Amino acid sequence: MRGVTRQSLSIALAVGVTAGATAGCGSDEQTHTVTATDFAYAGIPETMSVGDQLELENESETEIHELVAFRLADDETRSIEELVALPPDELLGLVSPEPAAVLLAAPGGDMIAAVGDGTFAEPGRYGVICVIPTGADPDEYLAAAAESDGPPDVAGGPPHIVSGMFDEFTVEN
């Protein structure tokens, strides 16, 4: 079941790899540094302004982490806790057709922007998830990612969301 979750999400995320976010044109954009640990995010603001940007730093010594951000429908009222507990196909449907951003960082490595650049141009509520397999080798993961159109299917345990690696934020005008 958990393996199915990871595979389904990988398929979903593969669709969005060529998408690019466009930076806003306002003058007050801020960059918010998000710190990833095993297994949580720190520094994701509850509310950001259109044009604000997230950047990812990884403080784990062993795990590669990612920040997959996807805009939720305007009529979506469920919390991110409820959404990540949904059956895999339903969570897949929320991330499709493409996430707004996919940022990756290996332990001690620089951020890699795989989808977008971490800038959010559209107001709304966003979910954030990390679906990297627990225990995946960072070098193997990045090498495989460079060869594929989306997150690779590498060996590992359940995706990090199972350990609580998810969050949400709102973007306002």
**Residues within the interface to Cu ion (CB under 5 A):** 65, 130, 132, 160, 165
Report the residue closest to Cu ion, judged by CB. Answer: 130
In the complex, minimum distance from the CB of residue 51 to Cu ion, in angstroms, rounded to a whole number: 26
Q: Which is nearer to Cu ion, 53 or 58 (CB)?
A: 58
In the complex, minimum distance from the CB of residue 152 to Cu ion, in angstroms, rounded to a whole number: 15
In the complex, minimum distance from the CB of residue 77 to Cu ion, in angstroms, rounded to a whole number: 26
How many residues are listed for the chain in this entry?
A: 173
Cα dihedral sign for 50, 51, 52, 57? positive
Between CA 69 and CA 173 the distance in angstroms is 18
Cα dihedral sign for 164, 97, 116, 5? positive
**142: which 2 tokens?**
């990045």
In the complex, minimum distance from the CB of residue 105 to Cu ion, in angstroms, rounded to a whole number: 9
Q: Which is nearer to Cu ion, 6 or 160 (CB)?
A: 160
In the complex, minimum distance from the CB of residue 65 to Cu ion, in angstroms, rounded to a whole number: 4
Q: Tell me phi and psi for residue 41, to 5 degrees.
A: -110, 145
Find how far residue 92's CA is from the centre of its chain: 13
Q: Which is nearer to Cu ion, 22 or 62 (CB)?
A: 62
Q: Which is nearer to Cu ion, 9 or 132 (CB)?
A: 132
Indicate the helix (H) or strand (E) that contains 124: strand 124-129
Q: Which is nearer to Cu ion, 92 or 130 (CB)?
A: 130
Q: Partners of 13 in the beta sheet?
A: none
**97: cis peptide before it, omega within 30°?**
yes
